Every structure is written in structure tokens, then in C-alpha cells.
Chain A
Amino acid sequence: MFTFILGVTSNWTKIPSPLFKKAVIVLIDALRDDFVFGSKGKQFMPYTTQLVEKGTCHSFIAEAKPPTVTMPRIKALMTGSIPGFIDVIMNLNSPALLEDNLIWQAKTAGKRIIFYGDDTWVKLFPKHFVEYDGTTSFFVSDYTEVDDNVTRHLDNVLKREDWDILILHYLGLDHIGHLTGPNSPLVGPKLYEMDNILKKIHTSLLSKEEESSLPNLLIVCGDHGMSETGSHGGSSEEEVQTPLLFISSAFEKRNGPLKQPELVQQTDLAATLAIGLGLPISRNNVGNIILSIIEGKPMREQLRFLHLNGFQLSRLLQENMPTYEKDPGFEHFKIAEKSHGNWIKLYLEGNNSEVLLNLGKKVLKQYLEALKILSSSLSKQVAQYDMYSMTVGTVIVLEVLLLLLLSMPKALSSRAEFEVPLSPPLFSLLFYLMCLMLCAVHVIVCTSAESLCYFCSISWLMAVGVMMLISALMCVILSAFGKMLENPKLPAKNPAVSNSSWSELDVLMLAGTVAHAVSLGASSFVEEEHQTWYFLINTLCLALCQEICRHYFLVKECDLQLSTAVKQNFEDIEETAQCRSVDIPSCDSKLGKVTSSGEFLKGSEKWMGLASPWIILICCRLLRSLNQTGVQWAHRPDFGHWLTSSEHKAVLSLLAAISLVMIFILVQRRCSLVSKIAMALGLLGVYSYRAAIGNVVFPWQQDSKDISKGIIEARFVYVFVLGIIFTGTKDLLKSQVISADCKTKSIGLWEVYSGLVLLAALLFRPHNLPVLVFCLLIQMIMTRCIWKPLKFDAAQITIMHYWFGQAFFYFQGNSNSIASVDISAGFVGLDNYVEIPAIFLTGFATYAGPLLWAIHLLCYLSSEVSRNSAAMGHGCFCYALICSVPVTVYIILVTGLRYHLFIWSVFSPKLLYEGVRVFITAAVCMFFTAMDQNPSQKIHD
């Protein structure tokens, strides 16, 4: 008996013969489950619906794992594994897939594969297809040509016999989603087109079947869904659930009532398809065979397929988990294997009764259970973290933050010097000792760990550089710390710190910064970060309101009383020193009588000042209802959606036109005449660009004309953007080189700023143009009525700018999920995908809010230089500090939370956003320092 089982075992791992002859995979990008199974499917996909309801078809809802972006999804479909998060970035430029995958297996088995569609496939599988035609997926505003490029090959291919697998990847639906969302009128016709294609393929496959012995298989699937805004990348239900249809004459016709499609994993396709085509299951697959597909086969074969799947999964478990034998899935599998052996014995004995069938069903159940547990424990098996490299990165970030914090008293002093004492620590003994120690640690860690760390994979010199950087930073921190200890009284001398009494505003700013940084540890607060910022800027406005009240009502009375009191008697000086405790009524009567025209002007300024926080609050409330972001309340209707729906095109056009006019009015006041004209023409160009691509309409053009890509109009605007920025830079250079007056410089800065505003106006979707208007409006009100009269210091102003910048990031409709990145901004005025401009434009459009506020800070501080010569230095330092605090805290938090359930869906995308923000902050600070060079030199001279 023993030998008998052994004999069977050798047979078991052999690959069984295929179940299907030909397979056609139709992948429709961003096909959401309700596009097939919902009301849209019934309306626009009649053939498919009929197949699902009555035909020879098995339908499922396949669940994709986030990030729901095309390239990782293709990987998941073809390898059955769960790709890492870094693939989101690779999505833009994918290298060839080296992992074991279905396509490679099919090619080695001598299958001929033809592919038409998204060229990501061609990049992933470069030499695998006998015939292919890749269409680029990056030009999102095109949704007909991408699909026609696929369909035009279809008639020819379907006639031919020289292929085994045909893969079609249709991109049009995804592009429609990105452009106009899932409820757009364009979706219906596209689904109908897809339905016709499916019908064509299916009938052709059926007609060929008669001669051949094996049936053909048609698979329809989506790589990911589509959120209510039309994008994808996140983990909401709409983005994750995609339909998966297996259509073949091998299946029995469905009779009886239609059931709700079963939920499966997207990774299950790879294993199922491998079995169906008689190929080995790929090595890293974590999916299970979908049982319904092999249901028609005899029990013996079914069990064999399941065993193959289980065998592969348990081997993968063995490789990944040292304690695999204790895993419940593995134990289940061993039990199932044993009962399988018993069943085979009975079977071979010729026992063919009811008992055998029931026993077989029991074994089947055992296998399914084992597979389920195995694949779930494999999916849970998180990626191997390279703890060593993570620690190194965290240490560097922490050291930089510590350095910034330590040099705070010095950098905020009146001279605003931020000098890193580099040379003495570099030559100290400590530095060399640190280097030596780190080298030793590196060698020990890298030789003891079995997996390679990141530092071993980069070049040798770089690794040494990193180590030197760490130790140098350490030494600099130590020396700075030592200096602080030497003269601890130094901070007290500084005007910025010496104001020992903290106002409510300072307390709020500190508390807000700390609270925000800490809140990043909770996944909900990361998802709903916009709420934090809206809350904070609201409170900031109220605190400002209180500050203004105090300024206009109390301080003035106090001055007045001071002067009168001094006149009256000198003894009372002590009492008047506590001038804040003065009550109003006695002074009010005195004040009221001394009215003049000048007083009246003051009065209007006062009322403007008092009203301005409320105006800003109302603006923020309006902006908040424009774009609903986040996760929990993202489904709530918002004004932006209302505007973008096609019925409200006229309103949107009007709003866009008004916004553009407002932008012009708000920006032009400080520009030179040439820039004013350029600005006006540029804004006109923006409108005509939006009209050309069909977002808005001109009043004279009633019928919707055919939509173009608007390349000429967009480039027309680019010319003006570059022109304005160029004039601005020229002025800046002039002021820098000839050291002309400050006025040239601030005009130059403002021109650069207005150029960026124009660029943002071009890249923003038309319904977001009010965000830009309100941004400019709030900046103007703040400058005129709050900052200038109340004479805040540079640090406070910087923090306010930073907070508003953050809030505007979310007012734009951004969130901490990858899904909200508007990649269509990267294609404005470009014919096809050009990497560098596309990345630059997308990045600018996404971070326009924080960037515009940062540049405005620069403009404001440069105009303040006359009052406080160190303003620019303070501003730059505070900006760097305030930006680096949340990043540092977040990096530490994420390192600690790396086994959190939401690490890939919530924390990692946020980390990506923070990373990009660090780059932008660095760029802004560099610009700051470049602008700051000149006056500081002047002071020194």
C-alpha cells in the first residue's frame, strides 16, 4: 500500500492536460462591477447580461487589492501575487516583470500569445508575445482612438488559427472615468461598444469550436474599479470590486434564478487560468482555483487540481515562513492530502458507489478549507521590511529635525543667522569614531541578515557617504548642544523668544502643530486629514478675530489713557502700566468727541479689520463644500460634482468666466503693464482651452462641436506663463546684480507669483477655479487687514501661510489617497506622454495650493524687509521647521506601525505625499535663500 501511494504521488505533481483550447482575455480598464451586474449593465450591455443570466457563463465579483492602479493589477492578475506598494510609482515606467507569471509559463509551454492594448503589458512582458500592438495609456483625454487601435486587429485575428491566447486591454472606459466620472453620458456608449466586441469574440469562438475537441474560453475582467469621482488608486468599494466573467461552452447553461455573483479575489484568476490552460501555477501565486470553473470535471480531476494548487501554496508558505508547520492552513492541507490518498485507493479499487462520491465531496471541502486558510495566511504575510535601512533613514531625518530645533534660538534672532558649524566637528575625533562604529555595525548587520539590505544594493561610495552624513550630523548636533549649554542665557536676548508671554495665537499655533503631527498616527485622521486642517484654520481665524478686537478696542484705549494719564499725574504711572485692564466706557466718551476725517478713515480700517476674519471664514466654508474629500464623507454630494455634471455646463462656464475675471482683478494690481496684458491674454487662453476640450462652452456656440485636445490653446497659455515668469526673473536678477531698490525685487517676485497663478488656472479643472480666486482673495484680505496693521512677526506669518497652504491642498479636492491625483493635468498641451513635463505639471497641479501660499509668503516677507531686515531669514527657517516636524513624526510613526492593517491602503500613500512635499519644501527653501542673499549682504557691508 505504501509503495502504491508513492507511485501516485509522483504522478500528482505532473501537470494535467488543459481544459480549454483557446483563451481570450478581454481586460476592460476600470470596469466596475455595477457596469456589468448593475442597471448600467442591463441597459448598455445586453449581450453580456443575457450571457450572465442565461448563458454558459460563470460570473464573479473579483476583489482587487489596493493600490488599485493598472500596472500592479496586471501583475496581480498574471502572477497571482500581491504586488508591493512601490509599484504605484513604477506604474509610470514599468520595467520587465521578472517574477514567475502566467504569460511566461504559457510561452515556455509553446503557446502563442497575441496582445493588443495598453503598452504596459508590452513593457512588463517584452518578448513574450508573438504579435502585439501597444497603445499608450497616458493620453487620458482620448477615449476612442485607444480602443479603435485594439479593435481594428480583431477581425483579422479571429479569422486566424495561429494563436492560443489572445489578450485585449481596452483603455477607453478608464479614460472616460478620469475625464468625466462614472455617471458621464459617455460611459453608456462605451459599454455598448464593449458589449458588441464581446459578442463578436464569443460568436467567433463558438463557431470555431465544432471541429476541435476542447472548448474555448472567454474571460472578461476589469483591472480595478472606478470611484464616484472617476479615478482609482484607493481602497473604496467602488474602486476595488470588478466583474470577472468566464464564458465557455464547457459550462452548463444556467437555469434557475440568478444569484448574486460570488466574491472572489483578483489573484484567483492566475491559478484558475493556469489550470484551465494546463500550465504550472506560478510560483508566487497566493490565489485559489475558482471551483465553479472545474465543477464539470470528474471528481478525480477536481481533487487533483485542488491538490496542485494546495501543493504550490504550501511550498510558497514553506519558503516564506520558518514556522510553516504550525500554520493551520498547512495542517489542514496535510489532512486533506491524506484523505485524498484514501479516496484514490478506494477509487482504484473500483468502488464507484454513492459512498465514494460523498467521500470525494468531503475531501473537496477539506481542500477548499485548506486553500482558503493557506492563501489568507500568505496574503497576510507582509512584505519583508528592511528594518536596518529604515532605521538609517529615520535617524537621518531625526538628526536634521534636531539640528533645526537646536538652532532655533539663533536662527530667530535679529540677525537671522543659520550657520552650521561644519569644520570643527568634521575634524574631531568623535566624527571618525562614529564613522568607524557605523561601518562596523553595517558589516555586522549585513553579514548576519540573510536578505540583502538596501545599502548593500547601492554603490559602495554612496553607502559610505550616508554613514559620513549621519556621523557628521551627529557631531554638529552635539557641538550645537554644547554651545547652547555654554551660554544658556543667549536665547533670552533674542527678541523673538524674549516675549515671554505667549499670546493665545502662539499657544494655538503650537498646539495645532503638535496635535496635527500626533494625529497622523491614527488611520482615520490620515484619511480625514482635511478635517484637521479646516478645523485648525477656522480656529486660527477666530483667534485672529480676538486678536484684532484686542488691537482695535483695547490697545488704542490703553494708548490714549496712557497719554492722558501721563499728563494728569505722574504718580499713577504704575497703574497705567497695567493698561490692558482699562475699561472702555470712561475712555469711550472721551474718544467719541475727537472725531475727524482721519478718525473716520481709521474707523473704516477698523471695521474692515473686524470683518475680515469672518469673510475668510465664509470663504473657507464655501470652499469646503466645493470638493468633498477624504473617505468617510466622500460620497456626500458636493458643489464640484454638481458643476461637472453635463446638465450644468452653462453654470460651470459662467462660474469659470467669473473666476478668471476675478483672478485677473486680484493679480493685476501689483503687476507691470506688460504682465497685465500678458495675464489677460493668458486667462483668455485658459478659457478657450477649456472650451476646446469641451469642459465649458462659449455663449455663441450652442451645439457641442467636436472635442479636440486643445493643444494650440494650451501652448498659447504656456507662452504667456513663461513670458511672465521670465519678466519676473529678469527683475529679480536685476535687483540682485545691480542691487537696485527693494521695489524692483518685490515686483519681480509678484510677477513670478502671478505666472504661477496663471499656470495653476490652466491646470485646474474649471470647477476648481474658485479655489484659486479665494486663495488670492484671502491672501489679499489677510495682508491688508490683518498682517500689516497688526504687525505679526515673521514666524507667526509663516505658520499661518503654512496652515492655509495645507488647507488649500485639500480645498483643491486632494486627499491622502492616490486616487485623487488628477493625472490629466500632466497632459495639458502635450501631444503624448513626455515624462518630465508630465510629472512636473501633475506635481504642480496637485501641490498648487501649498506652493502658491509659500510663494506668497516670500512676496509678503520681501515687502516686510524694510520693517524687519531678518524677516526673510526667519520665514525660511520657520517654513523649513514647520514642514519638517510632521514629516519626521510621520516617518517614525509609520516605522512603528508597519504591521498595521491599513499600512498599504492608508499610511503608505500618505508617506508618498509627504515625500513629494519634502521635495517641494526643499525647492521653496532654496528659492527663499536665493532671494535672501542680497539684503543680508547689504547689511553686512
Chain B
Amino acid sequence: MKDTEIKRLLSAHIVSVLSISLTTIVPPLFLENFSVLGTHLIWLCICSICVTTVNIILYIILKPNPSSKRISFAHKVTKFLKCCVFFFISCILFHGIIVLYGAPLIESVLETFLFAVLLSTFTTLHCLCMLGPNIQAWIRVFSKNGAMSIWDNSLQITTMCSIVGAWLGAFPIPLDWDRPWQIWPISCSLGATFGYVAGLIIAPLWIYWNRKQLTYKSR
């Protein structure tokens, strides 16, 4: 049971990683002058959209937290709308935090906001797919020892890694190397992406290594 779960997780994560790497390879075939550094904003949009679609498709296929009772269509719609609101709120929240960290308030609003959207897709969207718009479940997952399945564990790891990646990505900005990737928000968004990818790779491995210690209580 557990091993098959881990395999499912691994395959899902590999698909995600591949989709992210495709965002750097495919667009130049259609768009002229496209490069991750040069037209960073376009890349941000493409990456966010791609990760979003892949996550949703994976969610529909895999159904990590299957619920027993059937849900009415109206309920599904409200759930979807709720998810959208949650996602938007999280974008605004991330934007606010980034500005508090020192990003300019008025200049380069678009850059900051797209970066916030990217961070939200890596963290909030992932959570929304797994847990749905259910705050209690979120708090449970993100409190210590709150994971109830390997999906929750992977969620913890990828979210942490993306945020830490974005955090570490801010370090090269003050250096006086005058490299193109030091421009706001390139280093941070690249950091977040690398963190996310690293999280996707680490999570199955970590779960695999610790599969003996991991015991999940079902409630």
C-alpha cells in the first residue's frame, strides 16, 4: 500500500519537474527573443500557468485525499470559487510580505506581483489542490507532526523548500557583480523555482528513506 503510494507520488512529482523544465525549453520555439532572464515576466506567467495546470490535472487524476461521499455539482462550484478567492488572497499576502522585505512599493509593481503569483502557485495552489479551501486542514498540516499521509509530508517539504529558496534567492541582490540575473525579481523567482524543484525531488526520497518511522494516525 505504502510503496504504491510513494510510487504515485514520485511519478506525480517527476511530471511536475518535467513541466517546469519544459517552460524553459518550449516557449523559444513559439516566441521570438524569449529567454528566462531577458523576458523574465513572460517566463513568470508561463511558469505559473504551467504549474497550475499540471497541478490541477494531477489532482484530478490522482485524487490524493479521496472523500467517500459524493459531492453535488453546486458544492463543487462553490469549492472552486473559494479556491480562487484563497489563491488571490495568498497572492496579495505574498505581495505584501515581499514589499515589507524591501521591494519597491510603486515601481516594478508588476514584477513583484508576478513573483508573488509564482510563489503562490508553488505553495498555496499546491495546498489548495491537496487540501481544498479548508483552513483547519492547513493548520493541521503545517503544525508539527500534523501530517496524516505522505501527501501531507510532501506538501510540507515542497512548500518549505520553495519559500526557503525564494529567501535564499535574495542574497545575491546586493552583490556588485552587475549580472543580468541580479535584477529584481529574477534571482528570487529562480531561487523559488529551484527550491520548488528541489522539494519535489527531495520529498519522495525523504519519505522513502523514512518510511519506517512515518506512522500516520487516521482519525
Q: B68 to nearest A CB, angstroms?
A: 18
In chain A, residues 518-554, which have Cβ atoms closer than 8 Å to a Cβ of chain B? 522-525, 527-528, 531-532, 534-535, 538-539, 542, 550, 553-554
Among listed A434-442, A460-468, A575-583, interface-contacting one: A575-583
| Cβ of A586 to closest chain B Cβ, rounded Å | 9
Contact with A583, one of B99, B140, B175 (Cβ below 8 angstroms): B140
Contact A525 B174 (CB under 8 A): yes
Residues of chain A contacted by B1 (CB below 8 angstroms): none
User: B140 contacts A534, CB within 8 Å?
Assistant: no
Q: Collect the chain B residues with CB atoms within 8 Å of residue A618's CB.
A: 100
Q: Does A584 contact B (CB under 8 A)?
A: yes
What residues of A have a CB within 8 angstroms of the CB of B219 in the complex? Answer: 583
B172 and chain A: residue at smallest CB distance: A524
- Is B144 positioned at the interface, with any CB of A under 8 Å from its CB? yes
With an 8 A cutoff between CB atoms, is B66 at the interface? no
A550→B143 contact, CB < 8 A: yes
Check if A620 is an interface residue, CB within 8 A of chain B.
yes
- Flag if B175 contacts A580 (CB, 8 Å): no
- B167 at interface (Cβ–Cβ under 8 A)? yes
Q: Is B170 an interface residue (CB 8 A)?
A: yes
B174–A528 CB distance below 8 A: yes
Residues of chain A within 8 A (CB-CB) of B143 are: 550, 554, 580-581
In the complex the two chains form, is A584's CB within 8 Å of B176's CB?
Answer: no
A632 contacts partner chain B, Cβ-Cβ < 8 Å: yes
Whether B139 contacts A553 by the Cβ 8 Å rule is: yes
A538 to B, closest residue via Cβ: B101
* Number of residues of chain B lying within 8 A (CB) of chain A: 21
Residue A224 is within 8 A (CB to CB) of chain B in the complex: no
Contacts of A539 in B (CB 8 A): 167
* Contact of A542 with B102 in the complex, beta carbons under 8 Å: no
Residues of chain B lying within 8 A (CB to CB) of residue A527? 174, 176
Q: Is A896 an interface residue (CB 8 A)?
A: no
B213 CB-CB contact with A under 8 Å: no
Q: How far is the CB of B173 from chain A (nearest CB, A)?
A: 8
The number of inter-chain residue pairs (CB within 8 angstroms) is 59
B146 within 8 A of A: yes
Shortest Cβ distance from residue B57 to the other chain A in the assembled complex, whole angstroms:
29
Give A220 to B173 CA distance when docked, in angstroms: 42
- Residues of A close to B140: CB separation below 8 A: 583-584
A584 near B139 (CB under 8 angstroms)?
A: yes
**Residues of A contacting B210 in the complex (Cβ-Cβ under 8 angstroms):** none
- Main SS of chain B's interface residues? loop
Say how far A773's CB is from chain B's closest CB, in angstroms: 19
Chain B residues contacting A534 (CB-CB under 8 Å) are: 101-102
Which residues of the other chain, A, contact B139 by a CB distance below 8 angstroms? 553-554, 583-584
Whether A585 is near chain B, meaning CB under 8 Å from some CB there, is: yes
Q: Are B174 and A584 in contact (CB under 8 A)?
A: no
A584→B173 CA distance, assembly (Å): 41
Which single member of B105, B146, B170, B176 contacts A535 (CB below 8 Å)?
B170
Is A621 an interface residue when CB atoms closer than 8 A count as contact? yes
Q: Is B218 an interface residue (CB 8 A)?
A: no
Instruction: Pick the most buried of B102, B139, B173, B219: most chain A CB atoms within 10 A of its CB.
Output: B102
Among B101, B173, B217, the one with the most A-chain Cβ atoms within 10 Å of its Cβ is: B101
Q: Is A624's CB within 8 Å of the partner chain B?
A: yes
Find B145's partner among A522, A550, A580 (CB 8 Å cutoff).
Answer: A580
The answer to whether A581 and B145 touch (CB under 8 A), given A531-B102, A542-B97, A621-B102, is yes
- A31 vs B118: C-alpha distance when bound (angstroms): 50
Which chain B positions have C-beta within 8 A of A583? 136, 139-140, 146, 219
Whether B144 contacts A621 by the Cβ 8 Å rule is no
Bound together, the chains give a CA A528 to CA B170 distance in angstroms of: 13
Contact with A along B76-120 (1 / 0, CB 8 A): 000000000000000000000101111001000000000000000
A617 at the interface (CB under 8 A from B): yes
Give Cα A632–Cα B219 distance, bound, in whole angstroms: 55
Chain B residues whose CB sits within 8 angstroms of the CB of A535 once the complex forms: 101-102, 170
CB nearest neighbor in A for B103: A621
B18 vs chain A, min Cβ distance (A): 32
Contacts of A531 in B (CB 8 A): 102, 173-174
Kindly provide the distance from the CB of A288 to the nearest chain B CB, expressed in whole angstroms: 30
In whole Å, how far is B19's beta carbon from the nearest beta carbon of chain A?
30
Contact surface of A with B, Cβ cutoff 8 Å? 522-525, 527-528, 531-532, 534-535, 538-539, 542, 550, 553-554, 578, 580-581, 583-585, 588, 617-618, 620-621, 624-625, 630, 632
In order of increasing CB-CB distance, the 7 nearest A-B pairs are A528-B174, A581-B145, A583-B140, A524-B176, A617-B100, A524-B175, A580-B144
Write 27 A-B pairs (CB below 8 A) sorted by A numbering.
A524-B175, A525-B174, A527-B174, A531-B173, A531-B174, A532-B174, A535-B101, A535-B102, A538-B100, A538-B101, A542-B97, A550-B143, A554-B139, A554-B143, A578-B145, A580-B144, A580-B146, A581-B146, A581-B217, A583-B136, A583-B140, A584-B140, A585-B136, A617-B100, A618-B100, A632-B174, A632-B176
Beyond A581-B217, A585-B136, 10 additional contacts (C-beta under 8 Å) are A522-B175, A524-B176, A580-B143, A581-B146, A583-B136, A584-B136, A617-B100, A620-B100, A621-B102, A624-B102
Interface positions of B (Cβ within 8 A of A): 97, 99-102, 105, 136, 139-140, 143-146, 167, 170, 173-176, 217, 219
